[in-house]
A and B are shown apart, each in its own frame.
Chain A
């Protein structure tokens, strides 16, 4: 079955960067994009951007442009999201999810704490 498995929780100091990984399995990689969506504690969902795992094409939400970089290694079916210049407002759970329009499978989430 489709699975997206993310890397573990991270703690960073303000101003630092963090990279989260998302390993996909159970489906043909080039048929879906991977999006990144975050959720601050007790808050709603915020789309950060997406990437095509084969071509590497990306589209980032305006809010994160200049701070977010999405990359991938198709040989190991893994997508990465790096966020730089972290502030306390970036403390959140970061999800990878399959798709660009709607998101039909989600990773388990990675808690990033900036403190």
Chain B
């Protein structure tokens, strides 16, 4: 199985500031035939199911605000929240779907400083 490692485990950011979350996969998740990285980001607020934010490493899901952006390729990826809002307090997970089984990172908790 591909192992997904996120860093940091948690971070506290002031309102309006930038939050950056990193994700590393144990194998490259770039699919040469489609020229896409099979890396997805989710947001999970307390007591709720996860919500799809980003797929193919950088494509925002339906209705996702443009302050959320994904970048990276191969094995190293970043989720950036520009101008953090109070409603962005959550745990964020990365996930690879390059090979079965789909595997998730351990999560990064984002709080307000």
Contact = CB atoms under 8 A, between A and B. Distances in A.
A47 B104 CA distance: 8
Contacts of B42: 45, 103
Contact of B105 (A35, A44, A95): A44
A97 to B, nearest CB: 8
Interface string A87-115: 00000000101001111111111000000
Interface residues of A, number: 20
Q: How many of chain B's residues touch chain A, expressed as a range?
A: 20 to 34
Contacts of B102: 35, 47, 100-101
Nearest to B107: A44
Contacts of A97: 49-50
A10 interface: no
Contacts of A11: none
A59 interface: yes
5 contacts: A45-B42, A45-B104, A47-B101, A95-B49, A101-B38
Top 4 closest pairs, chain A to chain B, by CB: A106-B49, A101-B97, A102-B40, A45-B104
Given A100-B97, A106-B51, 18 more contacts: A44-B105, A45-B93, A46-B104, A47-B104, A59-B100, A62-B101, A95-B50, A97-B50, A101-B40, A101-B97, A102-B52, A102-B97, A103-B42, A103-B50, A104-B52, A104-B62, A106-B49, A109-B49
